[in-house]
Structure 1
């Protein structure tokens, strides 16, 4: 296995720890600490620096999708769920059932929820865009307050820039 590097990003909703190799990002997780531990160094891989910059652009409202390489580590089912999550358009939401239907297994709602909870690429694989079928917020590994903040942030950015960018407002999960 390649050497693992870490870089901290101080977001408006807490410290985010970026982990990756020279080739790809492996995880983006909220770290329950206030102190930046892993600052940028000369040997920090370009992919981590790019991820850092793209997260910064996301939080500044300048980016709606991510383009750096990342590595999904999980079962085939989990990877299918995570890939389906990327079909939820910026500032929109979906449900566990939507994802289950998208992956062709509409009875796997609980398994989809479990896979969603094991997502290691917060924000990039947008598990924060999953809400309950009743329209209420459901669990989020980073805390419901962060989930609420992320959804509101995306709605605000879309509202401010949506008409200029021609972003549709009614789409939820993109069917594949």
Structure 2
């Protein structure tokens, strides 16, 4: 899996969302675009960084459309290489079975993905998701509420994403 990684970001209500794109697809996203985050992702991938604006265009366009409320399903290729086989099993199940505007509990996702991982373990897998937003870990909730979220500003970012998707009602100060 030799190759390179290119980075691109888009401004959103939750900050500058960064996408790391290899020849195989989006390998990582972040709620922050900063040189140290880019370096950390490139190091984890073990790939040199290239300046390839064209390679990141589809990911940037789709992220911009999603945050604008115009995209319901990501079509960009996903590069799963930063995930263990268990992460890939659980996050892959999430990616393919929980559409825009719907949620699943941690326990339901464990059963749906065919693992024996307890709900708390599913939460850890969500927290280690290298491709948040595109692989929608924000759609996994606790049985008694929203649960946690490690991206952006934590649970407030999760609440914003679920409001964008129509799962939660907008508050009086909501604006897209």
For this structure pair, what is the TM-score category when the shorter chain's length is used for normalisation?
0.7 to 0.9
Q: How does 1:7-86 map to 2 (within 5 A)?
A: 7-31=8-32, 43-72=51-80, 73-86=82-95
Could you tell me how far apart the structure 2 residues matched to 1:131 and 1:45 are? Answer: 35
Q: Would you say the 8 A contact 1:21–1:45 is kept in 2?
A: no
Aligned mate of 1:89, from 99, 102, 109: 99
Q: Would you say the 8 A contact 1:97–1:106 is kept in 2?
A: no
Could you tell me how far apart the structure 2 residues matched to 1:123 and 1:110 are? Answer: 21
Greater CA drift, 23-32 or 119-128: 23-32
Deviations 1:20-58 (A, max 9, x none): 22331111111176xxx9xxxxx5253411000011111
2:160 is equivalent to residue 144 of structure 1: no
Please state whether the residue corresponding to 1:155 is helix, strand or coil: coil
Could you tell me how far apart the structure 1 residues matched to 2:161 and 2:7 are? Answer: 23
Could you tell me how far apart the structure 1 residues matched to 2:117 and 2:150 are? Answer: 23
Please state whether the residue corresponding to 1:119 is helix, strand or coil: coil
- Which consecutive unaligned segments of at least 5 residues does structure 1 have? 38-42, 157-176
Q: 1:118: which partner in 2?
A: 128
TM-score, L = length of structure 2: 0.77
Q: Would you say the 8 A contact 1:47–1:69 is kept in 2?
A: no
32 and 51 in structure 1: CA distance in 2 versus 1, 3 angstrom threshold:
closer
Deviations 1:51-98 (A, max 9, x none): 000111111111101111111121111101111112112111111101
- Which consecutive unaligned segments of at least 5 residues does structure 2 have? 39-50, 168-176
